[in-house]
Amino acid sequence: MAGDTLTSSEYIKHHLTNLTFGQHADGSWGLAHSAAEAKEMGFWAINVDTMFWSILLGGLFIYFGKKVADRVTSEVPGGLQNFAEWLVEFVDDSVRGSFSGRNPLVAPLALTIFVWIFLQNLMDLVPVDVIPYISGALGIHFMKVVPSTDPNGTFGMAIGVFLLTLYYSIKIKGVGGFMGELTLQPFSSDNVIVKLLFIPINFVLEFVSLIAKPISLALRLFGNMYAGEMIFILIALMYNAGIVLGLFGGVLQLGWAIFHILIITLQAFIFMTLTIVYLDMAHNEH
């Protein structure tokens, strides 16, 4: 989308609006043609671009994983196998350092989360005008290519982790043990009256702590990636408006892109590590 065809606020709003499918005010279903229309579609609307890019990147991860598995050899490995082995060892070391239980799901889950989120974040390095310009030429009004800048996407992943945490908390400790953690911790006493007195207090404290886990997990990833995307958009806006010229604009983009690589990797690592920690807490009793 050319910067000179839109005002500054319209340019920013265009790049921050998802391609949304939902129910229009007249009852028909279809794609939204404006940010206001997308907002009016309500809860059952779907951000098509978030779904498309996240599924595509997940499919690419599966494809390359299968490609490595099909060509794995005990002889001199190729570059792709070396990279895959290094990645698996890196995640395995993280799991060994943070997870004290025994669960064959945790390491593959951690690997999937790290790579999938990293690939989603990596899309932030694609020049901000390229894909929206191509999609605009194809008649698609909006196209956000970074799924992790959509809170719907980050909350979806966080809620998945949260449900697994609840599942293993109940499976390992039982319903009584899990409810005991919510109502009898951190205070404890042999006096029944004291226990009854502190049960509602404990429940409020522990319930807030429990709910804060998926919320903080989702908002941390979303906030950091959204801020990074906004900076790329502002640099592109200044370049298109002639505020920064020529080589200087390219240097700004390149400098922020290099720094943003650290943020991209760190956010994927933090999400993975907290997932491991939450599952470890679900497997351990006080």
pLDDT class for 246, splitting at 50, 70, 90? low
Instruction: Give yes or no for a cis peptide into 186 (omega within 30° of 0).
Output: yes
**Residue 263 contacts residue 224 (beta carbons within 8 Å):** yes
The residue annotated as part of the active site, out of 82, 188, 209, 216, is: 216
pLDDT digits (tens, 9 = 90+) for 78-124: 888 899 999 999 999 999 998 988 899 999 999 999 999 999 999 99
User: Per-residue pLDDT averaged across 4-33, rounded?
Assistant: 85
User: Residue 224 catalytic?
Assistant: yes
Mean pLDDT, rounded, of the chain: 87
Range in 1-5, 29-33, 159-163, 266-270 the model is least confident about: 1-5
Is pLDDT of 245 > 60? Answer: no
User: Residue 220 catalytic?
Assistant: yes
What are the domain boundaries of the chain?
3-283
The residue annotated as part of the active site, out of 28, 220, 240, 284, is: 220
The residue annotated as part of the active site, out of 34, 224, 240, 284, is: 224
Integer CA distances (angstroms), 10 to 7, 13, 139, 141, 190, in order: 5, 5, 18, 13, 64
pTM: 0.88
Amino acid 3: pLDDT: 41
User: Residue 71 catalytic?
Assistant: no
Assign 3-class secondary structure to the chain: CCHHHCCHHHHHHHHCCCCEEEECCCCCEEECCCHHHHHHCCCCCEEHHHHHHHHHHHHHHHHHHHHHHHHCCCCCCCHHHHHHHHHHHHHHHHHHHHCCCCCCCHHHHHHHHHHHHHHHHHHHHCCCCHHHHHHHHCCCCCCCCCHHHCHHHHHHHHHHHHHHHHHHHHHHHHHHHHHHHHHCCCCCCCCHHHHHHHHHHHHHHHHHHHHHHHHHHHHHHHHHHHHHHHHHHHHHHHHHCCCCCHHHHHHHHHHHHHHHHHHHHHHHHHHHHHHHHHHHHHHCCC
Copy the structure tokens of residue 4: 């000179």
Amino acid 248: pLDDT: 64
